[in-house]
Amino acid sequence: MFKRNSPTGDADSWLSISDLMAGLMIFFLFIAILYIQPLQRTQLNIEKIIQTWQEGEADIYDALLTEFEDDLPLWNAELDREQLVLRFNSPEVLFQIGESSLRPEFEAILSDFFPRYLATLHPFYDAGVIEEIRIEGHTSSDWSGASENDAYFLNMALSQGRTRSVLRYALNLDLVEGNRSWAQPLLTANGLSSSRPVTTQATQTEDSERSRRVEFRVRTNTQNRLNEILEEFDDQ
C-alpha cells in the first residue's frame, strides 16, 4: 500500500521561496536607499550651489549696473550680464594703433571707473564670492604685412602689453589705495590677441573695429565648489 505524501510539503517549499524572495527584495531596497541618499544629498548641494551662484552673480551684475549705468553710454561701454564683463568698445579712445601706451582719454576714463569698480566689488570679496578680476585685451586679426600666423603672435604681444599698461595705471591710482591690498592678488592682465574676435551677425565675418577692446571680467568661485562636490560624488 502506498503512503500518501503530506499535502504540506509543496506549501512549505513555496513559503521558503517566498521568504527568500522577500528577503532579497528587502536587501536590494536597502542597497538602493544607501545609494540614493548620497545622490539626493549631492543633488541638493549642487542645486544649492547653482542657486547661490546665480544669485551671487546676479547681485554683482545689479551692483555694477547701478554704479555705472549712466556712464556706459558716455564711455561707449557695455555690461554683459551672462559673463560679468564690463567692455570698453572704442579702440580710438583706448590706444594708438599698434601701441600699448594708454591714450589720455582712456586714462581719464580709468581714473573715474576703476576706483568705483573695486569699491563696488569689495562687498562680494568680503563675502568670499570673487575668485579673480581679469583685465583682458583683445585685438583684431589684422597686422599689415604679416602672415596670419605672425599676425596672431604680434597681436598677442600687443594685447599683453596693453593689459599690463591698464593694470599698472589703474592699480597705481591714488583713489585705489583703500582697496589695493585685497584686489591686487585677484587682478590679472590677460592678452588674448585675436582669439575671440567679434563677428557681424549678418555675415559672421570679423568686425575688426569691435574686436579691438578691453574687458574687465569678474570670475566667481562657485564653479570650483561645484567641481569639488562632483569629485566627491565620483569617489563614492
| 233 domain residue, yes or no | no
Per residue in 180-213, pLDDT (tens digit) is 999 999 999 999 999 999 988 788 898 888 889 9
**Whole-number average pLDDT of the chain:** 83
pLDDT band at residue 172 under the 50/70/90 scheme? very high
Distance CA 214, CA 94 (A): 8
The predicted pLDDT at position 132 comes to 96
Distance CA 172, CA 13 (A): 88
User: Which residues touch 167 (CB under 8 Å, ≥6 apart)?
Assistant: 135, 187, 189
For the chain, how many structural domains are there in total? 1
| 139 domain residue, yes or no | yes
| 110 domain residue, yes or no | yes
| 8 domain residue, yes or no | no
| 166 domain residue, yes or no | yes
Distance CA 139, CA 214 (A): 9
Helix (H, G, I), strand (E, B) or coil at 104: helix
**Average pLDDT of the residues in 13-39:** 59
Q: What would the grid cell of residue 216 be?
A: 574687465
| 38 domain residue, yes or no | no
In the Cβ-directed half-sphere of 214, how many Cα atoms lie within 13 Å?
Answer: 28
| 135 domain residue, yes or no | yes
- pLDDT at 15 > cutoff 90: no
The domain of 222 spans 47-227
| 80 domain residue, yes or no | yes
Q: What would the grid cell of residue 120 be?
A: 563696488
Say which CATH number the domain at 214 has: 3.30.1330.60
The predicted pLDDT at position 2 comes to 47
Q: Where are the alpha helices (DSSP H) in 172-195?
A: 177-183
Distance CA 101, CA 163 (A): 10
Distance CA 195, CA 155 (A): 10
